[in-house]
Structure 1
Amino acid sequence: MSSSGQALSVEEIDGYSPRLPSIARTGARQRVMMLGLRGIPSVQGGVEKHVEMLAAKLAAQGWGVEVVGRRRYLAQSPHSSGHGIRVFSLWAPRMMALEAIVHTFIGVCFAALRRPDILHIHAIGPALMVPLARMFGLKVVVTHHGYDYDRQKWGGFAKGMLKLGERLGMRLAHGRIAISKEIVETMGARYRVPVSFVPNGVAVAPWRGESGVLEEFALGRRRYVLLAARLVPEKRQIDLIRAFARLGDAGFKLVLAGGAEFETPYAREVKAIASRVPGVVLTGFQTGERLTELFANAALFVLPSSHEGMPIALLEAMAYGLPVLASDIIANRALGLPDEDYFPLGDIEALAAAIAGKLGNPPREEKILARMAHVEATYSWTSVAQKTLSVYGALKR
C-alpha cells in the first residue's frame, strides 16, 4: 500500500502529542482498519463523510489506512480511494435490518486475517461485534456517532439491539470516542468509562465553476432553499416541504438533495408530497462539484431533523457562509448558533415564518465572512485526526 504523501514527523503537527506512535519514532507503519460504514469515497451518509475525511488525514500522517465497505456501494474491490487509502468491498445482504450487522461480522473476521494495529468501529450498531473482535485479539476503538436507537425507522427489536451495541461498545472497546460533548457526558455517566470527545470536522471545496447542476434543475443563484440529507424519517423533509408550501409564490425554490438506500414508505411519501407543491426540486444524491455548486449558490440551508449525532451538513453550510435554520434538538443546539437560527422541532408554522424572515433579510458580507472563519478555525479535520491519534496512541502505552 502507498500513503498519500510523505509521512510527517510528530513535531510537524501543531499540538500533536510526542507520545503518539509515528513512523519517525517506531520505524514501522501503523495500520488502522475502519469498519461500520457503507464505504468511501463519495458515499452518502454522515459516518461515511467522517471516515473519508479522517482516513485521508491519517494517511497523510503516515498511517496505513484500510476501509471496509459494502459491495453494492462501491465500484470495485480492493481499490485505492485516491488518498493512499485501501478500500475493501465485502458482501452484505440487501436488507435494511441486516445489512450493517452482517457486514460488520464479516468485516471483523476479515480484520482478524489482516491484523491491523487498530480496528476502528464506527456507530453503535456495528459495535455489537466488539466482543468478537476482542475474541480475535484485536485492539478496538469505537466511535459513538449518535443515538441510532432514536431513529424513527427502527422497531422495538432493532432499537434493543442498537442499545445493546452501545453497551458492548462502551464497556468492551479499548478506546471510546463520541462526536458530541453531550454523548461523552451521557456515556460516562451511564457506563462509568472514559470517553474522548472528537467532533466532526468540515472541509469545503472551493467552487471552481459551473458543474451544470443549476441549469439541469432550473435553479437561480441565491434563489433556492437547500437541504442536503438522506431521505429518512428523522431528517423531516416532509416538515420542510409543508413549511415551504406556506410561503406561497415567493420566487424561491426548495431543493432536497439526497436519496434513499431503500425504497421505503417514507421516501415514497416525500416524493408524492413534493410532486404536489410547486417549486420543490428533488435532485437525488449529489456529490463532488455538483454538491459544491448547490451549497455555494443557496440562499438558505435548513436542517429540520429530529435526530443528529453532530450535523456535518449543517457545518458545511456554515462553512460556505450560508444563513441557516436548524431544529432545536440537542445536537443542533450544541453548535451554539444564535437563537434566531433555531426553530421548534416539528412546528411547521414557526419554520415557515423563520424561512420567510431569513429570505427577506439576507446577512451582510462581514457576517458571512465571520461565520466562515469561525467554522474553519473550530471544526478542522486536522484537529479531528490529531485527537483520534491521541486515542490510538493511548492504547500503545
Structure 2
Amino acid sequence: MRTNAQSQIFMLGTSLDSPGGMTSVVRTLRDGGLFDAWCVEYIETYKVRRAITQLRVMSVALWRLVTALAANRVSLVHAHSASRGSFWRKSLLCALARLFGVPYLFHLHSGEFPVFYQEECNPVAKWWVRLTLRKASLVISLTESWRALLCAIEPTIRVVVVGNPVEVPIKLPTMRDPAINVLFLGRLREKKGVFDLVRALPAVLRQCPQLRFVLAGDEGEKEVLSLATALGVESAIHLPGWVDGEPKAALLREADLFVLPSYFEGLPVGLLEAMALGIPIVSCVVGGIPDLIEDGKHGLLVQPGDTTALAAAIVHLARHAPLRQSLRVAAHERVRSTYALPTLIAALGDLYAQLGCPKRAESNFGGDIRR
C-alpha cells in the first residue's frame, strides 16, 4: 500500500439524508467526531430507488474512489454494507481497493445477510461473497452471535465485534404512569413485524384501552391502515410516516413502551435509542437482539409471529409499573456500558490505528476535509 501525506480513510455508504439504521449509525459517528479525528471522506453509493438516479450516484462513487486510489490518497476503505444490492455495490468498490493494494474494512449491518447468502445467491455469487469477506483486512460484526454466523459462511475471515453507537443521557427521564404511548420505529413491512403488531391490537386494547400506538415508518402506510380498519383498531394508531432528527427524538421522549416485533434484525438503532432513554422494550428473539436484551432483565422478548405472546407482553408491561421501572434502569445501564458513542468511536479508532491509518493531529483540525 502506497499513500501520500494527505491520505484519508474513504467510507462507503448510503446517502446521509436517506432513511434507515445504517445511515443513522454513520451520521452518529460523523457527528460524534470520528470523521474529523481520522480524516474520513464519505462516498455515497446509494440515494434513491429510481434507476437513472442510482446509476448516476454509483458512477460518481466509482469515479471518486478510482481517482483517489490512483492519486495514492486512500489509506483505508471502510464499507458499510447491508445485503443484496448494497452488498454488490460495496463489494465492487472494495475489489477496486484490492487492485490498488489498499486494505478495507467490511462493516455488515444486515440482519438478513445469512438468508441472503444461503437462499438468494447462486454458487458464483456465494464465491464472490466469500472472496469479499476473506480479502477484507477485518470484517465488522455488530454482535457476538453474528460473528459465529459470518465465520460459518467463510471460516478464514477475521471478524471483530463493534456494536452500533448511541448517545446515552446521564440521567433517566421520569417514568410516566399509567403507560399510554406505544412506539414502533421502522419500515412498515411484514418482516419488521408491524402487521403482527396491528393484529395483536384487538387483544391488547380489550385489556388496556388507554394505549395509543404510534407506528412511525414508510412504505406500508396504506396497508397498515387498511388492516387496522378491518380489525376496528384504526382509532388507536397514528401513522406519522418516516421520522428522523428532532421529530423522532420527540416521539421517543413521549413513548412509554417501545415495540419492535421483527423477523430479521442486526442490532436495531431504534431499539438502542429507546433503551438509552429508559423506554421499556418488547421485541423478538431474532438476529442480534438476544445479544442486546436478556429476556426479563432488559426487556421482554417473544418469538416472531406469535401475536398472542406479543399482545400478552405489551399488556403485562403496561399494567406493571414496577416491572417497567426495573427494565428501563437495566436497559439504560446496558447501553451505557457497551454502546455509548465515545466507546464505539474509540473502538473504531483502534481498528484504524491497527491498520496503519494516521490520526489527525489536533493542531490540524482547522484544515479542509471533503465529505
With structure 2 as the length reference, what TM-score do the two structures score? 0.77
CA contact (8 A) 2:111 2:287 kept: no
1:321-332 → structure 2 map (5 Å cutoff): 321-332=278-289
Residue 182 of structure 1 aligns to which amino acid in structure 2? S
- Against the structure 1 CA distance between its residues 69 and 137, is the aligned structure 2 distance closer, same or farther, given a 3 Å change threshold? same
State yes or no: 1:341 paired with 2:318.
no
Match of 2:255 among 290, 298, 302: 298
The Cα of 1:104 is off from its aligned counterpart by 5.0
Query: Could you tell me how far apart the structure 2 residues matched to 1:30 and 1:109 are?
Result: 17
1:206-285 → structure 2 map (5 Å cutoff): 222-248=179-205, 250-260=209-219, 268-276=222-230, 277-278=233-234, 279-285=236-242
**Higher-RCO chain (CA-CA 8 Å, sequence separation at least 6):** 2
Look up the SS of the partner of 2:16 in the other structure. Answer: coil
**1:214 alignment counterpart:** none
Look up the SS of the partner of 1:334 in the other structure. Answer: helix
1:98-177 → structure 2 map (5 Å cutoff): 103-104=57-58, 106-114=60-68, 115-123=73-81, 124=83, 125=87, 126-129=89-92, 130-149=94-113, 166-177=129-140
Q: Deviations over 1:138-159 (max 9, x none)?
A: 332110113434679x996578
State yes or no: 1:379 paired with 2:355.
no
Query: Could you tell me how far apart the structure 2 residues matched to 1:289 and 1:356 are?
Result: 29
**1:40 alignment counterpart:** 16
The Cα of 1:167 is off from its aligned counterpart by 2.0
Q: Deviations over 1:14-61 (max 9, x none)?
A: xxxxxxxxxxxxx96652222132x225x3211111111123335466
CA contact (8 A) 2:302 2:309 kept: yes
**1:54 alignment counterpart:** 29
CA contact (8 A) 2:276 2:336 kept: yes
Query: Could you tell me how far apart the structure 2 residues matched to 1:101 and 1:190 are?
Result: 30
**1:309 alignment counterpart:** 266
- Against the structure 1 CA distance between its residues 371 and 29, is the aligned structure 2 distance closer, same or farther, given a 3 Å change threshold? farther
The Cα of 1:304 is off from its aligned counterpart by 0.3
Query: Could you tell me how far apart the structure 1 residues matched to 2:143 and 2:46 are?
Result: 30
Match of 1:94 among 50, 75, 97: 50
- Against the structure 1 CA distance between its residues 254 and 368, is the aligned structure 2 distance closer, same or farther, given a 3 Å change threshold? same
Over 4 Å off, 4+ runs: 27-30, 70-73, 98-106, 149-152, 154-165, 204-207, 364-367
- Against the structure 1 CA distance between its residues 72 and 310, is the aligned structure 2 distance closer, same or farther, given a 3 Å change threshold? closer
Query: Could you tell me how far apart the structure 2 residues matched to 1:36 and 1:341 are?
Result: 33
The Cα of 1:293 is off from its aligned counterpart by 1.5
The Cα of 1:327 is off from its aligned counterpart by 0.8
CA contact (8 A) 1:151 1:307 kept: no
**1:393 alignment counterpart:** 353
Residue 16 of structure 2 aligns to which amino acid in structure 1? I
Residue correspondences, number? 331
CA contact (8 A) 2:187 2:218 kept: yes
Look up the SS of the partner of 2:37 in the other structure. Answer: coil
CA contact (8 A) 2:9 2:40 kept: yes
Indicate the structure with greater helix content: 2
Query: Could you tell me how far apart the structure 2 residues matched to 1:137 and 1:116 are?
Result: 10
Q: Deviations over 1:308-333 (max 9, x none)?
A: 11111111111111111111114211
Query: Could you tell me how far apart the structure 2 residues matched to 1:195 and 1:99 are?
Result: 34
CA contact (8 A) 2:205 2:211 kept: no
**2:38 alignment counterpart:** 63
Look up the SS of the partner of 1:62 in the other structure. Answer: helix
CA contact (8 A) 2:216 2:239 kept: yes
Q: Deviations over 1:43-101 (max 9, x none)?
A: 3211111111123335466222222236756xxxxxxxxxxxxxxxxxxx615xx9879
Q: Name stretches of at least 5 consecutive residues in structure 1 with no aligned partner.
A: 1-26, 74-92, 208-219, 261-265
- Against the structure 1 CA distance between its residues 109 and 146, is the aligned structure 2 distance closer, same or farther, given a 3 Å change threshold? same
- Against the structure 1 CA distance between its residues 170 and 72, is the aligned structure 2 distance closer, same or farther, given a 3 Å change threshold? closer
- Against the structure 1 CA distance between its residues 116 and 232, is the aligned structure 2 distance closer, same or farther, given a 3 Å change threshold? farther
Query: Could you tell me how far apart the structure 1 residues matched to 2:316 and 2:124 are?
Result: 43
Query: Could you tell me how far apart the structure 2 residues matched to 1:171 and 1:188 are?
Result: 10
The Cα of 1:116 is off from its aligned counterpart by 2.8
Look up the SS of the partner of 2:224 in the other structure. Answer: helix
**1:88 alignment counterpart:** none
Range with bigger deviation, 43-52 or 143-152: 143-152
Q: Name stretches of at least 5 consecutive residues in structure 2 with no aligned partner.
A: 172-176, 358-371
**1:197 alignment counterpart:** 161
- Against the structure 1 CA distance between its residues 36 and 59, is the aligned structure 2 distance closer, same or farther, given a 3 Å change threshold? closer
With structure 1 as the length reference, what TM-score do the two structures score? 0.72
- Against the structure 1 CA distance between its residues 231 and 393, is the aligned structure 2 distance closer, same or farther, given a 3 Å change threshold? same
